[in-house]
Amino acid sequence: MNTFSRVAIVLIGLTSAVAAQPKAADGKMAPPAAAKAPAPAADPKAPAAMPEMTPPAELAAAVKAAGGSWTCKGQGMDHAMKMIDMTGKMKIGLSVDKWWMTTVFDSKMGKEPFHFDSFTTYDAATKKWKRVMVESGGFWLSGESAGMTANKIDWEMTAHGPMGEGMFRDHEDMTDPKAGVKMWGEISMDKGKIWTKVYEMACKK
């Protein structure tokens, strides 16, 4: 093929390409269409969409059994580290979109008022109950429980406050329906070597 033939073929190809371009209303050639940008690829590090979550059924069942108002009597340790008579009121219900069981407790030990707010939920992943408490005097506690065994519940907590950090154990006993719920708590400030009871009481609806 000679040089003239090659040039003719190239010109014919170019002419065909130009003729195929769309024309504007005024007869002029329309600019070529912009190429579409490829869709961005999914980021492999992006977190997956969260599944719809619902409050644990175990929590609703616990509040159904324990919810309401309770009257409590017993003894608690005052600021002088002495056990004195105590009376109190306790109210249990659901809060935070039904994800937490709330316990509000108000009492008097002699003439000294005492208050705490407690938040309890159930962790299905670990099959344990979790609790956070804030109390009068600047103390707050957090910990967990394996749940009820033979109508008893034991809590292992860490206490934080003005006196430093300590270990706290809460016990709840529901074996005697006539006595209501018996509760007592003990604290250790030396990593479990010595335990001191700080309250004991019985609560009834």
CATH code at position 66: 2.40.128.20
Each residue of 95-115: b (16+ CB within 10 Å) or e? eeeeebbbbebebebeeeebe
Poorest-pLDDT segment among 1-10, 105-114, 140-149, 194-203: 1-10
Instruction: Give the C-alpha separation, 7 to 107, whole Å.
Output: 103
Residue 105 belongs to some domain of the structure: yes
Residue 1 belongs to some domain of the structure: no
Higher-confidence position of 37 and 108: 108
Helical ranges in 67-148 per DSSP H: none
Higher-confidence position of 51 and 131: 131
Length of the chain: 205
pLDDT at 16: 41
Poorest-pLDDT segment among 16-30, 139-153, 191-205: 16-30
pLDDT at 29: 53
Calculate what percentage of the chain has a pLDDT beyond 70.
Answer: 80
Poorest-pLDDT segment among 13-17, 164-168, 196-200: 13-17
User: Which residues form the domain of 105?
Assistant: 59-204
What the block records as the tokens of 9 is 């073929």
pLDDT at 10: 33
pLDDT range class, residue 52, cuts 50, 70, 90: confident
pLDDT at 118: 98
pLDDT range class, residue 40, cuts 50, 70, 90: low
Residue 5 belongs to some domain of the structure: no
Poorest-pLDDT segment among 36-50, 62-76, 113-127, 184-198: 36-50
pLDDT range class, residue 205, cuts 50, 70, 90: very high
Instruction: Give the C-alpha separation, 188 to 163, whole Å.
Output: 11
pLDDT digits (tens, 9 = 90+) for 74-131: 999 988 889 999 999 999 999 999 999 999 999 999 889 999 999 999 999 999 999 9
pLDDT at 153: 97
Which has the closest alpha carbon to 201: 94, 71, 78, 102? 71
How many distinct structural domains can be found in the chain? 1
For residues 11-39, give the mean pLDDT: 50
Residue 170 belongs to some domain of the structure: yes
Residue 9 belongs to some domain of the structure: no
Residue 109 belongs to some domain of the structure: yes
Helical ranges in 67-136 per DSSP H: none
Residue 120 belongs to some domain of the structure: yes
Instruction: Give the C-alpha separation, 154 to 180, whole Å.
Output: 17
